[in-house]
């Protein structure tokens, strides 16, 4: 195989295609969650109940353990702005040659 392709050009693309195909369906084929779980849309940023302004994903919880409080669009906006400022500050440090803590 080393004469034909390396792991990066041969095996890696094959592995990626297989993994993409396996995880492309949600939930996995043949998988059914236990009936006693609660299905909830959760904010991917805060982990709270999803509001209209946030990215959300479906998660399963044991009854009583699911988030009770929803995030707000303002909260999401503030968190994203803070993250952008922090990311910019870290980029500036790197560009100035200052090592990050």
Give the residue among 95, 98, 45, 53 at the shortest CA–CA distance from 72: 53
90 touches 100 (CB < 8 A): yes
pLDDT digits (tens, 9 = 90+) for 43-88: 888 888 888 878 888 889 999 999 998 888 888 888 888 888 888 8
- Tokens describing residue 75: 């909260």
pLDDT given for residue 62 in this prediction: 92
Give the residue among 78, 79, 40, 70 at the shortest CA–CA distance from 52: 70
pLDDT given for residue 26 in this prediction: 64
pTM: 0.51
Average pLDDT for 1-25: 74
Average pLDDT for 8-13: 77
Residues 6 or more apart whose CB falls under 8 angstroms from that of 52 comprise 73
pLDDT at position 2 over 60: no
What are the structural domain ranges in the chain? 1-32, 39-101
């Amino acid at each position: 195989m080393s004469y034909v392709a390396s792991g990066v050009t041969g095996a890696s693309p094959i592995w990626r295609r297989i993994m993409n195909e396996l995880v492309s369906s949600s939930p996995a084929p043949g998988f059914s969650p236990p009936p006693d779980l609660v299905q909830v849309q959760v904010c991917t940023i805060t982990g709270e109940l999803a509001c209209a302004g946030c990215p959300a994903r479906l998660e399963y919880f044991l009854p009583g353990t699911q988030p009770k409080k929803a995030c707000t669009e303002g909260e999401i906006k503030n968190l994203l702005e803070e993250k952008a400022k922090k990311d910019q500050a870290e980029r500036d440090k790197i560009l100035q040659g200052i090592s990050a803590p």
